[in-house]
Structure 1
Amino acid sequence: MSIKLICTDMDGTLLKDQKIISKKNLEAIDKAINNDIIVAITTGRVYRSAKLYADEIGLRTPIIALNGAYIGDSNGETIYKNPLTKEMAREFFEVSVKCGLNPYFTTEFGIISKKELPETHVYKIINKELEKDKQIELIVIDDIEEILDKYGDELLKGVCADKNNMEKVLEARTIIESSDIEKEVVSSWPDNFEIMNIGSSKGEAVKKLAKYLKIDLKDVMCIGDSENDISMIKCAGVGVAMGNGTEDVKRVADFITDTNINDGVSKAIETFI
């Protein structure tokens, strides 16, 4: 085994908080790149947000975004996308609203939400520091039929999150998972769940990216911390769980590194590369 591709999650993994990549992680990634190893961001975030960090690191490699529902190259060109069906989107929206929650959809370019996102949302925070043309688009539409009419082919993921109403989030997830409509359902944080079309997962996207780059999966290392990272950790030659990761992630990993606060990504790279 010789690692040729590293796929790393962002939040809770590469980032120390919602915005910062540590100096040690940057240095380790730079060393990997200098050893002809490809490094790719693999995230639940929208492509435009992930690209900000890819540019900061200096990556000119494809980005897996939206839990694998979208893969884009470094120039913003689409390599792969798998949008929600209108049936999936409508069910997700209506169930979430019925449970008293504020659902939103993510696209390649941003978010379409029923209500204005809170000021504490990561994209709201990031946008305050960006020039207008680089900001993540935040669109508010409270009618699902209008959303489907305007953006139906661009809805790549549905997200429902509310840390103050986790019981309602769980209720909505349970209803949606038990329906007859097949879809992928995962969590990236304890207080949320996310839906994608069948075939959209980080694991499937890593397989597609490895094939695109002509790299064997045994030569891939994947690093993550949450439920949405399990599929890619299981399919990789080396699956790495963060020290701050959930127990179900740690159970399927080949190696457990340090936490995101303590530069776990850099330590994993140093261990295997």
Structure 2
Amino acid sequence: MKKNIKLICIDMDGTLLNSKHEVSERNKEALKKAKELGVNIAIATGRLFCSARYYSDIIGVDTAVIASNGAYIKTNYEDKALLENPMPKDVAIKIYNIVKKYGLSVNFNSWDTLIREYPVPETHAYYVMNKVLPEEKQVKFIINSDNFVNALEAFEGNILKGIVIEEKENKDHLWAAKKELKSIFGDKLHIVSSGNDNFEVMIGSSSKGNAVAHLAKSLNLSPEEVMCIGDSENDLSMINFAGVGVAMGNGLDLLKNAADYITDTNNNDGVARAIEHFVLNG
């Protein structure tokens, strides 16, 4: 069923990327064909801008990048940000102290820098990605295990998002920390998960949905002209905003229940199939 879609916003992990963190050729081809028809393309991700921009370059299609779960929008490295919504340092410090009570650690990021207490493992996606990027496009790391609060204070005005990840099988303390943050901050923070091992924290007005709305408005587009595709809780706000909300076949039930359409999985060209269905065919 072809729709009058003028903007497609696509989540990355679990959506555009397959389980090998690759963009399939069918997905690339569908995106290129949509772009040739005049459709705007945007990547919408929890990742920081540098990482998302890398995959945008791989696609071979000029895209806007909605990064840090909607706290930041930018096109290219040199361009001015279309949207930047940092959290105050006192909020970041309070998040850090609450998370530490549960024996967890939190990574904070700006658009190009990851702030951590502990060294970055060589298996970390940003570490691996940096090996193939020129220096000016690499993710920067700030490691401070001695006084993490000082590191946050020094980054005042640049902290876009925090993420807490737990790799252990028992995650009760992870969800307890998430629950406490929600009870303390309420709608002052936007707290969502992008997988079953994490939760991510932004200032309350930052969400993928609000960022997509901001981008659509800048393009003079209505929600009915927007299609959003995702798989996780952090995609729900943009699925709800879009005229056509698409859930991946591998997506969470809460997303499928809210979506207008359920496509195939990320390992079976689900993004391409949705674009073909609503934009290219008919």
Band of TM-score, shorter chain: over 0.9
User: Within 1, Cα distance between the matches of 2:141 and 2:185?
Assistant: 31
2:90 pairs with one of 72, 87, 90: 87
Instruction: Give the 4+ runs in structure 1 shifted more than 3 A.
Output: none
User: Within 2, Cα distance between the matches of 1:107 and 1:167?
Assistant: 28
2:232 pairs with one of 226, 229, 235: 226
**Correspondences of 1:192-203 after superposition (within 5 Å):** 192-203=198-209
Q: Contact 2:165/2:197 (CA < 8 Å) preserved in 1?
A: yes
User: Within 1, Cα distance between the matches of 2:266 and 2:8?
Assistant: 16
User: Within 1, Cα distance between the matches of 2:143 and 2:101?
Assistant: 18
How large is the RMSD of aligned CA atoms in angstroms?
1.4
Is 1:21 the counterpart of 2:13? The answer is: no
The worse-fitting range, judged by mean Cα deviation, of 91-100 and 20-29 is 91-100
1:146 paired residue number: 150
**Correspondences of 1:113-128 after superposition (within 5 Å):** 113-128=116-131
Closer, same or farther in 2 for the Cα pair 1:180/1:149, shift >3 Å? closer
Is 1:50 the counterpart of 2:84? The answer is: no
1:135 pairs with one of 127, 135, 138: 138
Is 1:247 the counterpart of 2:253? The answer is: yes
**Which ranges of structure 1 fall in alignment gaps of 5 or more residues?**
none
Identity of aligned residues (%): 44
Q: Contact 2:32/2:61 (CA < 8 Å) preserved in 1?
A: no
Normalization by structure 1: what TM-score? 0.96
Aligned length: 273
1:167 pairs with one of 161, 169, 172: 172
- Corresponding residue SS for 2:114: strand
Question: What's the offset of the Cα at 1:59?
Answer: 3.0
Question: What's the offset of the Cα at 1:6?
Answer: 0.3
Question: What's the offset of the Cα at 1:128?
Answer: 2.6
- Corresponding residue SS for 1:7: strand
Is 1:155 the counterpart of 2:159? The answer is: yes
- Corresponding residue SS for 1:10: coil
The worse-fitting range, judged by mean Cα deviation, of 223-232 and 136-145 is 136-145
> What residue identity is the alignment partner of 2:123?
T
> What residue identity is the alignment partner of 2:165?
A
> What residue identity is the alignment partner of 2:54?
L
**Residues 121-160 of structure 1: CA distance to partner in whole angstroms, max 9, x if unpaired?**
2112212333333221121123243123211111000100
Question: What's the offset of the Cα at 1:91?
Answer: 1.5
> What residue identity is the alignment partner of 1:264?
G
Q: Contact 2:115/2:142 (CA < 8 Å) preserved in 1?
A: yes
Closer, same or farther in 2 for the Cα pair 1:47/1:257, shift >3 Å? same
User: Within 1, Cα distance between the matches of 2:68 and 2:252?
Assistant: 20
**Residues 31-70 of structure 1: CA distance to partner in whole angstroms, max 9, x if unpaired?**
1011111111111110111111112223333211000000
User: Within 1, Cα distance between the matches of 2:149 and 2:96?
Assistant: 10
User: Within 2, Cα distance between the matches of 1:138 and 1:180?
Assistant: 28
> What residue identity is the alignment partner of 2:182?
E
